[in-house]
């Protein structure tokens, strides 16, 4: 049986921890991970998490240089479950939407779309102007899933990391990867003091 593989992209938007946690959860679920990190993301990783490029070693099964357009993940014949970009910058989102494939990140995403595989973009930007929204609409029409990392407060998170893990685990759900880290909605609890509308 072929390995279950997932491409994980980390772009330069704030929230590099989303990509790191995605790698950890996917690995724990037995998924082979292929990582591509943009040049801007290396700056964000250092700024937000104090990580250097060398700190990425061992966090993914394969790490592909962002300039390696000849990497396995640049070809549709290399079978994967799809690609998660966490976080996804507006620049990366826009490149994918226009078919610009100047880096391995945008090329791999383009391949995922053309092969009709799952592409999930955890877009990290707010507020959004009309151009952003139109780009998201275009990508949705192309088959991508736009999934901003919106916190779920019904889980009653006790830390920022719990918020991050829940968001990433929900993104991995979209690839049918059950990490066991999602607190599933169990319906409203009684105790509201009256009839429920």
Which fold does the domain 5-173 belong to in CATH?
Rossmann fold (3.40.50)
**62 vs 92: CA distance, rounded Å:** 21
**75 vs 88: CA distance, rounded Å:** 21
Q: What percent of the chain has pLDDT over 70?
A: 95
**167 vs 151: CA distance, rounded Å:** 7
Would you place residue 182 in the very low, low, confident or very high pLDDT band (cuts 50, 70, 90)?
confident
75-117 pLDDT, tens digit per residue, is 999 999 999 999 999 999 999 999 988 899 999 999 999 999 9
pLDDT score recorded for residue 196: 45
Would you place residue 197 in the very low, low, confident or very high pLDDT band (cuts 50, 70, 90)?
very low
pLDDT score recorded for residue 194: 46
Q: How far is CA 8 from the centre of its chain?
A: 6
**137 vs 11: CA distance, rounded Å:** 20
152-180 pLDDT, tens digit per residue, is 998 899 999 999 999 999 999 999 999 99
Domain positions in the chain are: 5-173
């Amino acid at each position: 049986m072929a390995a279950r593989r997932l491409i994980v992209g980390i772009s330069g938007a704030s929230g590099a921890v989303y990509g790191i946690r995605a790698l950890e959860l996917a690995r724990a679920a037995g998924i082979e991970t292929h990582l591509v990190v943009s040049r801007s993301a290396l700056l964000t990783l250092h700024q937000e998490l104090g990580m250097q490029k060398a700190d990425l070693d061992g966090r993914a099964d394969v790490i592909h240089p962002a300039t390696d357009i000849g990497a396995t993940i640049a070809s549709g014949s290399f079978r994967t479950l799809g690609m998660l970009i966490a976080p996804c910058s507006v620049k990366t989102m826009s490149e994918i939407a226009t078919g610009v494939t100047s880096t391995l990140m945008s090329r791999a995403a383009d391949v995922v779309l053309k092969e009709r595989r799952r592409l999930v973009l955890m877009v990290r930007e707010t507020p959004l102007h009309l151009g952003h929204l139109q780009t998201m609409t275009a990508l949705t029409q192309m088959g991508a899933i736009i999934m901003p990392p919106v916190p779920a407060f019904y889980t009653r998170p006790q830390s920022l990391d719990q918020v991050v893990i829940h968001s990433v685990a929900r993104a991995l759900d979209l690839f049918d990867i059950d990490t066991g880290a999602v607190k599933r909605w169990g319906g409203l609890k009684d105790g509201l003091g009256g009839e429920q509308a």
